Structure 1
Amino acid sequence: MEKRRETHKLLQYYKITENLTPNYLKEILPIQHYQQHDHNTRHSQNYINIHCRTSHFFNSFVPSTTRLWNNLPNDTKESESLNSLKHKLNSSINIPRYYFDGTRRGQIYHARLRMKCSSLKHHLFLKNLEPSPYCSCGGIETTSHFLLLCPKYANERSVLNSLEIPVTCDLLLFGDENLDYETNKRIFITVQDFILKTKRFS
């Protein structure tokens, strides 16, 4: 129950930081480290913990959730959507069994895309390992670009069309808890088939 409360608080915190709530709510959040110091560190994107004089304030929403947020892995804090963050937070509670379907190599490449730890240009650029996030086709090589948009893999992408359901980047990465196991399994195996056929990470 406590874990679910923390997840709910973190989802609300994300909505505030991403301007998905009224603007005045963002004004109650503390500033981030990079706004106070001009040097870049791995904690630059963290929010400054609030000094609390009472235990009541210490346990209130903003101070307590700021601490929770700062302790998240960077790839979780950098989630591209609310749904993506929800999947990452819930995965620490219960990993769906379809995450273990497919080939070992396919699972590894798929997981790296979920965690933004692949060799896509944008992922490397975020870690200062690549000078440019651009794909050779001219678009920014994000996960969604690779899976859904890049013209270099138009032929390989035909396997995704065989799913015969509306696809989004989140669906291809995380599945959908509202779908049955067999459907999610088919999605994961199909995505891994696409990844391997592109030979992008070989």
Structure 2
Amino acid sequence: MPLEFVHSPTQQTFDIGSRLTRLLTLLFSLVIVFNTIFAFSVLVNLKSLDTCMFLSSDCSWSAHIDYIKDKAWSRVNILRSLKFTLDRLTLETINMTFIRPLLEYGDIIFDNCTAGEKQELDKIQHEAARIVTGATKLVSIDKLYSDLNWQPLSDRRTNHKLIFMFKIKSNISPTYLVNLIPLRPADPRYNLRNSSDIPLIHCRSTLYYNSLVPSAIRAWNTLDSSFKSADSIQSFKRLISNTPKVPHYFNTGPRRLQVHHTRLRLDCSLLNYDLYRKNIISLQACLCGDSESVRHFMLFCPLYTSYREDMFESINLLVPGTAITLDLLLKGNVRFTDPFNSQLFSIVYSYIDSTKRFI
């Protein structure tokens, strides 16, 4: 008789477990491959910056600005498609790497373009900022920049001009650029407060007045002397930028809840009061009858009392004796460590999710 191998229950369980392990390994490998292909496709679409500058015979920058707009908006559209897929930090990194350099390539040269052309570039940065934070078009641009600690493009162009002048004054720039700057008199007749300023260039037209060298000299002359005496280009950049970093805990948590929390912080949420302020709806009342503001929703609305009590209890367990204010719930506390603030935000996210207000 042929031998028959009888599989014990233990062996059968082992076979099923090993098959399940192989299946999970295969699925995990497919996920990794999919993510790799997805990331690669994004990078291929973004491509290299391959920027250039268009010079017109009439000294206008319209052709160049149109070129920048077309390339930048195509990349903003890709960024928008990833708005709820990637976290805030990753979206900001993509913007800083692939979009903002387009808006700033040669910006000190074309800064004498028209005000309307500058506004077109600002719109691109504003939309990128809304995508990164998840804010809506109802948001105040000042609050949006403050939440991201971004500088307006106009301020960054001024800073780039100051860096251009610092390199010239430090003899880092080529000679042909150094020769563009007028020299101060060797022996001034009077010892005036502005005797160290660079002489201004006489300009017969507004276009030349706003061009690189005359405007850079004016910006340099208004700069504090302590900045001018920086010992290196790196320290000079730090002095003129002086923008604080965004708290790390702003980037934590599930993206959907992170977006709703940010909208509450920036007063551009779907609460009735925020919509009423922008004339989108005619009534600002909550279902409970009071005005549905951010403060009302987070601290007082009787519809969410049980969820709020759970939130307050969890916060008191995390940081006993802490006064619970609206600022604490929306911005955290700089005296706490990042892990503590991250846990605090997680508790607030749970409250927002539990209320089902923004579904």
TM-score normalised over the length of structure 2: 0.32
Q: Which residue of 2 aligns with 1:168?
A: 325
Matches within 5 A, 1:147-186: 147-161=298-312, 162-164=314-316, 165-186=322-343
Q: Which residue of 2 aligns with 1:109?
A: 260
Alpha-carbon distance, 1:163 to partner = 0.4
Alpha-carbon distance, 1:76 to partner = 6.5
Q: Which residue of 1 aligns with 2:146?
A: 89
CA separation of 1:113 and 1:127: change in aligned 2, threshold 3 A: same
Alpha-carbon distance, 1:74 to partner = 6.2
Query: Are 1:188 and 2:345 an aligned pair?
Result: yes
Structure label with greater radius of gyration: 2
Of 136, 140, 150, 1:75 maps to 140
> Match of 2:140, as an amino acid?
D
Query: Residues 273 and 292 of structure 2 are in contact (CA less than 8 Å); yes or no, is this contact kept in structure 1?
Result: yes
Query: Residues 125 and 131 of structure 1 are in contact (CA less than 8 Å); yes or no, is this contact kept in structure 2?
Result: yes
**Cα distance between partner residues in 2 of 1:150 and 1:137:** 7
**Cα distance between partner residues in 1 of 2:246 and 2:307:** 28
Alpha-carbon distance, 1:91 to partner = 4.1
Query: Are 1:123 and 2:274 an aligned pair?
Result: yes
> Match of 1:181, as an amino acid?
D
CA separation of 1:135 and 1:99: change in aligned 2, threshold 3 A: same
> Match of 1:105, as an amino acid?
R
TM-score normalised over the length of structure 1: 0.56
CA separation of 1:88 and 1:149: change in aligned 2, threshold 3 A: farther
Say which SS state the counterpart of residue 141 (structure 1) adopts: coil
> Which structure 2 segments of 5+ residues have no match?
1-137, 150-242, 317-321
CA separation of 1:200 and 1:148: change in aligned 2, threshold 3 A: same
Query: Are 1:141 and 2:292 an aligned pair?
Result: yes
> Match of 2:302, as an amino acid?
P
Q: Which residue of 1 aligns with 2:184?
A: none
**Cα distance between partner residues in 2 of 1:149 and 1:120:** 14
> Match of 1:163, as an amino acid?
I
Say which SS state the counterpart of residue 140 (structure 2) adopts: helix
CA separation of 1:110 and 1:90: change in aligned 2, threshold 3 A: closer
> Match of 2:324, as an amino acid?
V
Residue deviations 1:55-105, cap 9 Å, x none? xxxxxxxxxxxxxxxxxx96366xxxxxxx7x9737414211101111111
Residue deviations 1:131-188, cap 9 Å, x none? 0111111111110100010000011112321101321111111111121112211111
Residue deviations 1:29-60, cap 9 Å, x none? xxxxxxxxxxxxxxxxxxxxxxxxxxxxxxxx
Say which SS state the counterpart of residue 315 (structure 2) adopts: coil
**Cα distance between partner residues in 2 of 1:132 and 1:194:** 25
> Match of 1:89, as an amino acid?
S
Q: Which residue of 2 aligns with 1:200?
A: 357
**Cα distance between partner residues in 1 of 2:358 and 2:147:** 27
**Cα distance between partner residues in 2 of 1:199 and 1:96:** 27
- Percent sequence identity over aligned pairs: 34
- The higher-RCO structure (CA 8 Å, 6+ apart) is 1
| Greater percentage in helix | 2
Query: Residues 329 and 345 of structure 2 are in contact (CA less than 8 Å); yes or no, is this contact kept in structure 1?
Result: yes
